[in-house]
Amino acid sequence: MNIKIGTRGSKLALWQAYYIQDLLKTAHVDSELVLIDTKGDQILDRSLSKIGSKGVFTQELEDQLRAGTIDIAVHSAKDLQSSLPEDLSIIAFTERERVNDVLVSHDKSLSLAGGREFVVGTSSTRRVAMLKHFCPHITTVDMRGNLQTRLRKLEEGQCDALLLAYAGVHRMEYDDLIAEYLPIQDFTPAVGQGSVAIEAASTLPIDKRNIVRQLTNHAPTEACLKAERAFLRRLEGGCSIPVFGLATLENDELTLTGGVVRLDGSELLRDRFSGPTSDAEQIGHDLAESILAKGGDEILRAVRQNL
Ligand SMILES: NCc1[nH]cc(CCC(=O)O)c1CC(=O)O
């Protein structure tokens, strides 16, 4: 058996694809990488939120899945839109990396706590809005591009620090530049952060589907991401809206914390629901209903008008 693994060509995407390849290798399953250029990789000069980011990194991969030129597509779970077309599905979520966001800088004394004023580069609406909410003394500048591009902009002095997912920083081996780990209680990560998702078409032969799932899926992570993604789906969002959500497991009890933050930081809604893992999707749905009812619907309407 040979599994054709579709991936984007960025360094982080390749790390993820090799990671999947290594997991397959543990059972001597052969695979090859197929590099695919996506619209999101080409359009680097415009803000992601302004190019209708839904599926901007995933569309080309999905076309190849349907065409059968690749068997599976590897994504950061965070970048995968919350509702997939009927003929595609996620067949596995890998074990999650630490989920925190981190402050990355050459100046290790920098901290978001303590009121010191400095400039943070980020292009995530969630991070910008959270910084405005928790750290009004911080100035943000839009910073697009892959990790390497952003780090170059940091070197050039376009900002004093970057706000990034630990998972990507660690995988790219930039741990030395981490100045601060942000607490997940306040800076709750984006839905799916830290896990790698494998997408496949419904036409993928069942033996391939089963072996890939068996070798790569991490059941506890899968339960958590099911809850988080159901939450995001009900809010009709992808990674471009200022929504956060994180599920954790203790024994068989799943707890999902999540909410939404107004773009200007003036309001942050958060709630928490728990239940058995078998109810993961229901928990996500219930949390979304609660957040919408508390005023989240109005915040999201304002966000959509702004994009
Ligand atoms: N939106 C881009 C993106 N997609 C996944 C990661 C990091 C790895 C991950 O969270 O899985 C990043 C970079 C970042 O947010 O800092």
pTM of the model: 0.94
> How many CB atoms sit inside 10 A of residue 270's CB?
18
Angstrom distance (rounded) from CA 117 to CA 139: 8
- Identify the segments of the chain with pLDDT beneath 50: 44-53
Strand partners, 247: 256
**Atom 1, ligand 1: which residue's CA is nearest?**
79
* Cα dihedral 32, 196, 101, 305 sign: positive
pLDDT tens for each residue of 120-165 = 999 899 999 999 999 999 999 999 888 899 999 999 999 999 999 9
**Which residues, at least 6 apart from 55, have a Cβ–Cβ distance to it below 8 Å?**
62, 81, 238
Q: Which domains does the chain have, with CATH numbers?
A: 1-95+195-217 (3.40.190.10), 101-181 (3.40.190.10), 219-307 (3.30.160.40)
Whether 30 is catalytic is: no
Residue-level pLDDT at 1 = 92
SS3 209: helix
Q: What share of the chain is helix, strand, coil (3-state, %, to 5)?
A: 40, 25, 35
Distance CA 126, CA 154 (A): 20
Atom of ligand 1 nearest to the CA of 190: 10
Q: What percent of the chain has pLDDT over 90?
A: 86
Atom of ligand 1 minimally distant from the CA of 196: 11
pLDDT at 40: 62
Pocket residue to mutate for ligand 1, from 123, 153, 171, 193, most atoms within 8 A of Cβ: 193
> What's the confidence (pLDDT) of residue 114?
86
Instruction: Report CA 256 to chain centroid distance, whole Å.
Output: 16
Return the pLDDT at 48.
Answer: 47
* ipTM higher than threshold 0.95: yes
- The packing angle between helices 219-234 and 280-291, to 10°, is 30
DSSP state of 266: S
Distance CA 292, CA 8 (A): 35
Count CB-CB contacts under 10 A for residue 154.
19
Q: Which residues line ligand 1 (CB under 6 A)?
A: 76, 78-79, 164-165, 167-168, 193-194, 239
